[in-house]
A and B are shown apart, each in its own frame.
Chain A
Amino acid sequence: MTTDGLALATRGLVKRYGTRPALAGLDLSVPSGVVYGFLGPNGAGKTTTMRLLTGLIHPDAGSIEVLGRPFGRTDRHRLFEVGALIESPSFYPYLSGRENLRALAATGARVAATRIEELLELVGLRERAKDKVQTYSLGMKQRLGIAAALLSDPRLLLLDEPANGLDPAGIVAMRETLRHLASAGKTVFVSSHVLGEVQQLADVIGIIASGRLVREGPIEHLLEGEGEVRVRVPADDLDAARAALAALVSDGDVAPSGADDGWLTVRIETNRAAEVNRALVQAGIYASGLEAGSDLESLFLELTRGDGSGGHEGTFFGVAGGSR
């Protein structure tokens, strides 16, 4: 399989912790210059993947290509063009934000002298740059972590849950920054649980379950293929509406919502919403509400259903797993 034009690619990536497989042959293809949303239930292998991509751990099998070149144990220089925020941001608590960035800048690729001040400004920490990190809030640490990831002006940015702890304004600012980076040709790889955030941010998504990629592609394309249209009709007309819509889709693709509130869900491409409305009108039924589209959450839940790694099934806390 060719990896031309990809900022990041993994092929058959396998990682085991003891006998437990964390990744079972992961094939990722991350195009250059996009924001890539990396999704998966708890314990699906997201953090393991991030660690492998940054050389913190090493694969049992498979290969990784970073910015078009192989990345193995001896290729740490590849990371000079990569910025990363893995799990929680890591800093010396007794040093200030600025001093922490200086300390980090002494490692890896060289950093321009003015870069630290630029980044403190970018993440809105200039006023607090002299304060010790131990006095920072979670959101401030997260912003400092994003600044740290951007230190070397990387071509590829790997961010693990970057919105953690950020306030709404911070989330918007982060989203704009990441979009700006992607528009400047950089690649942003974002692992997140916040599906709504990813839906707004990402161009391409990859969904992982049980250590394997279960879906990957441009987000618009994926959601289009998985679309649905919801219509609200008078309760008395539900049966007639179902019959009318059966002309467009099979009977099994039309289902009332469980709440008995007059909503019907039609599994159909979202760009055919007008056809749904027309079919109802032709049957003399006037919808009082119509919603088209599919949210990422529906797609995610459908694709990761049955993932035994600790996803959404079972009670919320009742399934073993958690971030690896």
Chain B
Amino acid sequence: MRIFVVTLRKLVRRPASFVTLGILIGLLALILIAVAATASQPDAGPGQRQGLLLVTFPGAYTVILSFILGLGGLFAVIYGAAVAGSEWSWGTLKSAVARGESRSRYQLASFAAIALMIGVGMVIAFGAGIAVAIVGANIAVVSTAGLSDSETLGTLPELLGRGWLAIVEEGALGFAIATLARSQLAGIGAGIAFFFGEQFASIFLPDVIKYLPFNAANAVVATPGEGGFSGGGGDGGAVIASLEPNEALLVVVAWLVGALIVSTLFTERAEISG
């Protein structure tokens, strides 16, 4: 518990926490406002007017969450990798181990703090996204009556919970990759490569891709048959099958647990130097 609390404090003070969240919210705001402004032009075509769905409630709730899962997933990979990799690069893991701390406990408690930070960041980004979507709706002169749609609002806690689990899984992958790389920069680089590599893999492995971590994470909150808005981190335009949300949830949990086991086992067995 001590390590969890201290890691939480460290993460709150860490510039990467604010930078990552700031960029995510900035991009979300930029896209929503740009789409709303374009769609509201008198000469906008049918395709552009379809963009108004992004700022039309209650559907905007799911779209914003999908966006956070897509682009936020990439950021979660980077964030998880940055935190895990810096423990090796800065030698702070070494200091903890030399004090007799359990390697496994240190890693798991650190990741638990990351997961909580991701949850807080996701809620903040979601709230900011809704605020920006309202602004976008006003720009595009779209009704915001759907904001208080009780049926959708009732499903939000579950959607947020599923979304949190999905992003945490992506953070865990970054965490595991950086642990294996024992380096902050190498971990971030490999994490980004893995993220985009999975999208390219859809070309070669169309039947397998839905089980891979990022696609499974995106499917966790998607309605079956609906691709969702992936914000650039989704299916890259390729037509690929998605898992059922509940099935995706199981796959996400499997990847999450697997990533943590790999991180923990590797740290436990690693020879720490430098």
Contacts and interface: CB of A to CB of B under 8 A. Distances in A.
B5 interface: yes
A148 B5 contact: no
B239 interface: no
A82 B95 CA distance: 12
Nearest to B268: A73
A79 B91 contact: no
Nearest to A154: B99
Contacts of A58: 271
Contacts of B273: 51, 56-57, 324
Interface string A91-121: 1111100010011101111000000000000
B92 interface: yes
The 8 closest A-B pairs by CB, nearest first: A90-B91, A108-B99, A79-B100, A107-B101, A106-B6, A54-B98, A107-B96, A106-B2
Given A57-B273, A94-B15, A109 B100 contact: yes
Given A54-B98, A99-B10, A107-B95, 5 more contacts: A90-B94, A92-B90, A99-B13, A107-B3, A108-B100
Given A90-B90, A99-B13, A56 B97 contact: yes
B98 A86 contact: yes
Contacts of A83: 99
Interface in B5-58: 5-6, 9-10, 13-15
A106 B96 CA distance: 9
Interface in B94-134: 94-102, 106
B14 A94 contact: yes
Interface secondary structure of B, over-half rule: helix
Interface secondary structure of A, over-half rule: loop
Contacts of B10: 92, 95, 99, 103
15 contacts: A56-B272, A56-B273, A57-B272, A78-B100, A80-B99, A86-B94, A91-B90, A91-B92, A93-B90, A103-B9, A103-B92, A104-B99, A107-B106, A108-B96, A108-B101
Nearest to A93: B90
A124 B272 CA distance: 30
A88 interface: yes
Contacts of B100: 55, 76-80, 82, 107-109
A104 B14 contact: no
Given A57-B273, A108-B100, A102 B6 contact: yes
B274 interface: yes
A103 B6 contact: yes
Query: How large, as a class, is the contact surface on chain B?
Result: 20 to 34
Contacts of B97: 54-56, 76
Q: Which of B10, B92, B95, B273 has the most CB of A within 10 A?
A: B95
Interface residues of A, number: 35
A106 B97 CA distance: 12
B271 A88 contact: no
A107 B271 contact: no
Contact of B274 (A54, A87, A152): A87
Interface of A: 51, 54-58, 76-80, 82-84, 86-88, 90-95, 99, 102-104, 106-109, 148, 151-152, 324
A106 B101 CA distance: 9
Contacts of A51: 271-273
A51 B95 CA distance: 11
A109 B98 CA distance: 11
Contacts of A88: 91
Contacts of A91: 90, 92
A109 B91 CA distance: 19
A165 to B, nearest CB: 16
A58 B86 CA distance: 23
A104 to B, nearest CB: 6
Contacts of B92: 90-92, 103
Nearest to A324: B273
Interface in B254-274: 271-274
Contact of B94 (A56, A80, A92, A99): A56
A58 B96 CA distance: 16
A80 B97 CA distance: 10
Contact of B271 (A57, A78, A104): A57
Given A91-B90, A109-B100, A56 B271 contact: yes
Contacts of B15: 94
B102 A76 contact: yes
Contacts of B13: 94-95, 99
A106 B272 CA distance: 20
Nearest to A110: B2
A120 B266 CA distance: 35
A76 B15 CA distance: 33
Contacts of B274: 87
B134 to A, nearest CB: 35
